[in-house]
Every structure is written in C-alpha cells, then in structure tokens.
Amino acid sequence: MQDHRAPDFPELTLPLFASLKKIFKTETGRVFLYPASGTGAWEAAISNTLNRGDRVLMSRFGQFSHLWVDMAERLGLDVICVDVEWGTGVPVEAYRHHLEDDPTIKAVFATHNETATGVTSDIAAVRQAMDAAGSDAMLYVDGVSSIGSIEFKQDEWGVDLAVSGSQKGLMAPPGLAVLGVSQKALAAAESATMERCYFDFADMIASNDVGYFPYTPPIPLLHGLRASVDMLFVEGLSNVFERHFRLAEGVRRGVHALGLSLCATAPYWYSDTVSAVRVPDGVDGAEVCRIGYHRYRTSFGGGLNKVAGKVFRIGHLGHLNEVSCLAALASAEMALADAGAGIELGAGVAAAQAYYRQALTDRQDLADLDLLASAAPR
C-alpha cells in the first residue's frame, strides 16, 4: 500500500485528475473522485449545488433514471418528473415546453445512457432545448454507462455536473464515483445551502489542489484507474468510441437474426454500451439469466422494475472485443433455447460474425490494425 499522505502521492493524483478532464472533455471544469459508487456522485452533484425546495426538471424511462428522481425527491427538491415509455429516452421537446412555461426551474437532469433499458439520449439536443427556451438552469447528466465508451463533450454540450463511475467504460473495479463539475456549478456550490459533509466540494478542492484527499482514498483503485485511463489514451478515444459502436452493432444484428427485438424502441435510442433484449412471450428473462449464469457461466443483466422478466441485458462496454461479444451471443442463444425460446441456434452468432468480418475489412485504416490490436482489449 502506498502512503496517501506521502510527499510523492500527488505524482499519482494530479496527472490522474488532468487525464480524467480529457476523457470528460472539459478544459474549464474539474473532476472529483469520491470513494463511492455512481450514486454517491449523484448525491454530491445535488447537495453541493442546489437548495431544498428548488424546482428541477427530470425524466423517468428506466430503473436508474427512476432512482435519480427518487433521490432528488428525498433530498427535498421540487421535482417535475416527465414519465415516458421505457425504451425511449430524454423527452427533449417536453423539456423545452416545461422550460418555456416555468422560468423558476433551477436544474435539468438527463440520463445519457439508461443502463436498464439500453437507451442513449441526445445530450447536445437537451442543451439546445434549454438554450432555445432561454433557460439559465444547470444541466446534470448521468454518464455512468456512457463516459469512456460513448462520445461525451462536457464543455461543448454545456454540462454542469457529469456523473460517472469507475466500473463501466473506465474499466476499473467499482468503488470510485467520478464527477465532472463546470465553473458555473462550482460557483453555485459557494451559495447552495443544502447540507453536505462527506461530498463537500470545498473540502475536496482544498485537498485535491495539492494532490490529496480530505479522507483516506481507495489507493489501489486509483492505480487501477490510472492503468485503465492509459489504455484508453493508447487506443485513442475516437477509436474507443468506434470500437464500441462496432461491437454493439454486431450484438444488435445477432439479436435481430434470432427474431428478437431490443427494449430500445427505435435505432435512434440504441445504446453502444448495453443491449436490453426482449424475450419472447412465455419466456422469463430472469430464467434466461439464471440458466446463463449457472449452466453456461455467463452473467447477463436482468430486467429491472417495469421490465423485470421481460428482458435480459448484454453489456458490451469497456475491456472487450468482437470475440467477447460472440461468446456472449452464443451463451445467450443456449440460455434462451433452454428457457423455451424457439430460436435457431447459431443464427445470432453467424449474423454478428458476418458483420464483424465485413466491418473490419471495410475499415480504411487497415494498416493501423496491428497498432490498435496492441492497445485494444484482447
């Protein structure tokens, strides 16, 4: 274990803070690391910048957007919650109308990637709607299952609080909440009156500025995050995003070849980090997960809340490649068949194989594949 009060500890932390800013694509803001899950970053974002009774605009279309709404209400915010179909995402037009009608709204919340349903929303469009409505509200974004895997531009999109965690696209074990904070949000924290202690920005700033933390940090996780961030930079963020699209598209084609559909209701909503697959009538999604786990040693995500038993989830983000996705599809096919689904074994895998072979052949930078292979997950 490294001494987190040693004089050389900032040699680890200060460059790590700077690297995370590059991943969040913020030059003007700063990134905090809390010993917590992404839920801790949700709470840090709210408690540092808002007051009890503040009116905020949120939407609910999956388990994690639902939980953020629940937290906001329990912390005393006056929540306008727009409920939309699970399988769609942030209702941008509805947001614009609410913002035009109610100038007292202090904050707008958007879940970039809803992990429970495999839906990605357009955060740039949310900012455009806010600007069109003349809103001065702050923009809060949950990027737990998007940042590091799907393009994210905190400064360009005007995101004031960007939430992530160490265990998804950042490829480290769970245990670190990562929070990107704009200058506007930092200023709001100076006058916000909501109670906070463990998550206080002021305490973090005072310690982080010299490379330390106000409490004992999870040192092994910081070293792991340093290694995984270096992997992202070696591969190149644009290549990381392209790889995630390619892997996800192969999974999607495999799902469709099996005659199944996704929870996401249209391609516009498709996520490049997780696919929630609807099971056929008469098949229990939880049973597919159980069979996959115990019989084929594959851990699928189960359906949550409104989609419990109706879907199972294939995650395709972080440290993985085409063969990883083919293995997941093969296991899914067997588990589905064992659970009673009338599918053709091998059809999904074959469709994904055909897509991956063609997609890699069509790449214009084939000469660079050896370089990418040395950096990309094996």
Binding site, annotated residues for substrate: 313
> DSSP E strands: which ranges in the chain?
30-35, 55-60, 78-83, 105-111, 113-114, 119-120, 138-142, 161-165, 176-181, 274-278, 301-302, 311-315
- Annotated binding-site residue numbers: 313
Residue with tokens 């179909």, as numbered in its chain: 85
Instruction: Measure the N-to-C terminal CA separation of the chain; round to a whole number of Å.
Output: 29
DSSP string, 209-260: TTT--SS---HHHHHHHHHHHHHHHHH-HHHHHHHHHHHHHHHHHHHHHTT-
Rounded Cα gap, residues 293 and 287, in angstroms: 10
Residues 6+ apart with CB under 8 A from 364: none
Q: Is the dihedral of CA 322, 272, 232, 229 positive or negative?
A: negative
Rounded Cα gap, residues 237 and 234, in angstroms: 8
Q: Which residues of 150-189 are buried (b: 16+ CB within 10 A; e: fewer)?
A: bbbebbebbbbbbbbbbbbbbbbeebbbbbbbbebbbebb
The edge-to-edge listing of strands for the beta sheet with 274-278 is 274-278, 311-315, 301-302
Of the candidates 268, 277, 40, 27, the residue with the CA atom closest to the CA atom of residue 142: 40
HSE of 187 in the Cβ direction (CA atoms, 13 Å)?
Answer: 6
Residue with tokens 């792991």, as numbered in its chain: 224
Contact status, residue 98 vs residue 82, Cβ threshold 8 Å: yes
CA 314 to chain centre: 14
Question: What phi, psi does 339 have (nearest 5°)?
Answer: -85, 0
